[in-house]
Amino acid sequence: MPRQGGRRSARGQEARAKEGPGSSSNENGAGRRKRKAPKARRKKALIWTGGVVAFLLVGVSVGGYALYQHFNGNLNSVDIGDAGNKDVVTADAPLNILVIGTDKRTGKGNEGYGDKGSTGHADTNILFHVSEDRTNATALSIPRDLITNIPECKSRQADGSDKVIPGTENIRFNVSLGQSGRDPGCTMETVKELTGLKVDHFMMVDFNAVKELSTAVGGVNVCLARPIKDADSHLDLSAGPHKIQGEDALAFVRTRHAFANGSDLDRIKVQQQFIGSMIRQMKSDDTLTSPTKLFKLADSATKALTVDKAIGSVPKLTTLAKELTKIDTKNISFVTLPVIDNPAEPKPITVVVDPVKAPQLFSMMQADTSLTEVAAQKKAAKGKQDALLKGTKAAAGDVRVDVYNGGEIAGAAQQTVTWLQNEKGVLKSTNKANAPAKAAKTTLEYAPNQADQARALAAMMGLPASALKKGTTDAEGLQAMVLTLGRDFKGAGTPITGPAKIDIPKASADKAECAK
CATH number of the CATH domain containing 450: 3.30.70
- Give dist(CA 82, CA 346) in Å, integer: 40
| Phi, psi (degrees; rounded to nearest 5) at 419 | -65, -45
- Give dist(CA 139, CA 90) in Å, integer: 19
Say whether both 111 and 25 belong to one domain.
Answer: yes
Query: Number of folded domains in the chain?
Result: 2
Q: For residues 253-272, give the mean pLDDT.
A: 72
Say whether both 307 and 359 belong to one domain.
Answer: yes
H-type helices in 107-199, by residue range? 184-195
Q: CA neighbours within 13 Å on the CB side: how many for 502?
A: 18
Are 333 and 137 a contacting pair, CB within 8 Å?
yes
Residue 177 counted as domain residue? yes
Are 454 and 388 a contacting pair, CB within 8 Å?
yes
User: Is 127 buried (19+), middle (13-18) or exposed (0-12) by CB count in 10 A?
Assistant: buried
What pLDDT shows up at residue 128?
93
Q: For residues 99-103, give the mean pLDDT.
A: 84
Q: At residue 64, what is the residue type?
A: G
Task: Decide which of 339, 369, 399 is a domain's last residue.
Answer: 369
Residue 236 counted as domain residue? no
Residues sharing a CB contact under 8 Å with residue 458, sequence separation 6 or more, in sequence order: 389, 444, 465, 467, 468
Say whether both 451 and 362 belong to one domain.
Answer: no
Are 225 and 514 a contacting pair, CB within 8 Å?
yes
Residue 467 counted as domain residue? yes
Say whether both 132 and 14 belong to one domain.
Answer: yes
- Give dist(CA 241, CA 404) in Å, integer: 56
- Give dist(CA 16, CA 31) in Å, integer: 9
Say whether both 437 and 464 belong to one domain.
Answer: yes
Residue 235 counted as domain residue? no
Residue 226 counted as domain residue? no
Say whether both 334 and 439 belong to one domain.
Answer: no
**71-75, 263-267, 378-382: lowest mean pLDDT where?**
378-382
Residues sharing a CB contact under 8 Å with residue 512, sequence separation 6 or more, in sequence order: 221, 223, 273, 276, 277, 280
CATH number of the CATH domain containing 97: 3.30.420.590
User: Order of strands across the sheet with 443-446?
Assistant: 428-434, 400-405, 481-485, 443-446, 468-470
What pLDDT shows up at residue 494?
86
pLDDT band at 363 (very low <50, low <70, confident <90, very high): confident
- Give dist(CA 393, CA 456) in Å, integer: 5
Say whether both 364 and 469 belong to one domain.
Answer: no
Q: Is 105 helix (H, G, I), strand (E, B) or coil?
A: coil
Paired with 512 in beta bridges are none
Are 486 and 461 a contacting pair, CB within 8 Å?
no
Residue 108 counted as domain residue? yes
| Phi, psi (degrees; rounded to nearest 5) at 38 | -50, -40
Q: At residue 77, what is the residue type?
A: S
Q: What is the DSSP string of 329-354?
A: GGGEEEEE--EEE-TT-SS--SEEE-
pLDDT band at 455 (very low <50, low <70, confident <90, very high): very high
Q: CA neighbours within 13 Å on the CB side: how many for 431?
A: 13
pLDDT band at 75 (very low <50, low <70, confident <90, very high): confident
Q: Is 269 helix (H, G, I), strand (E, B) or coil?
A: helix
Distance from first CA to last CA of the chain, Å, rounded?
27
Say whether both 66 and 176 belong to one domain.
Answer: yes
Paired with 203 in beta bridges are 99, 307
Q: For residues 23-44, give the mean pLDDT.
A: 34
Task: Decide which of 312, 343, 369 is a domain's last residue.
Answer: 369
Q: At residue 320, what is the residue type?
A: L
Name the E strands within 33-175.
76-78, 95-102, 122-130, 137-142, 147-150, 153-156, 162-165, 168-172
What pLDDT shows up at residue 509?
53
User: Is 64 buried (19+), middle (13-18) or exposed (0-12) by CB count in 10 A?
Assistant: exposed
Residues sharing a CB contact under 8 Å with residue 448, sequence separation 6 or more, in sequence order: 470, 471, 472, 473, 474
pLDDT band at 42 (very low <50, low <70, confident <90, very high): very low
What pLDDT shows up at residue 316?
86
Say whether both 68 and 186 belong to one domain.
Answer: yes
Say whether both 85 and 183 belong to one domain.
Answer: yes
Paired with 470 in beta bridges are 446
Residues sharing a CB contact under 8 Å with residue 36, sequence separation 6 or more, in sequence order: none
Q: Is 404 helix (H, G, I), strand (E, B) or coil?
A: strand
* CA 167 to chain centroid: 22
Residue in 267, 340, 263 with CA at minimum distance from that of residue 12: 263
Residue 476 counted as domain residue? yes
Q: Which residue has the higher pLDDT, 75 or 146?
A: 146
Q: Provide the pairing of β-strand 332-336 with 137-142.
A: parallel
Containing structural domain, residue 389: 383-485
Mean pLDDT for all residues in the chain: 78
What pLDDT shows up at residue 334?
86
- Give dist(CA 262, CA 466) in Å, integer: 43
Task: Decide which of 369, 400, 417 is a domain's last residue.
Answer: 369
pLDDT band at 351 (very low <50, low <70, confident <90, very high): very high
Say whether both 267 and 364 belong to one domain.
Answer: yes
Residue 111 counted as domain residue? yes
Q: Which residue has the higher pLDDT, 514 or 423?
A: 423
What pLDDT shows up at residue 194?
96
* Chain segment 411-434, per-residue pLDDT in tens: 999 999 999 999 999 999 999 999
- Give dist(CA 205, CA 53) in Å, integer: 11
Say whether both 412 and 342 belong to one domain.
Answer: no
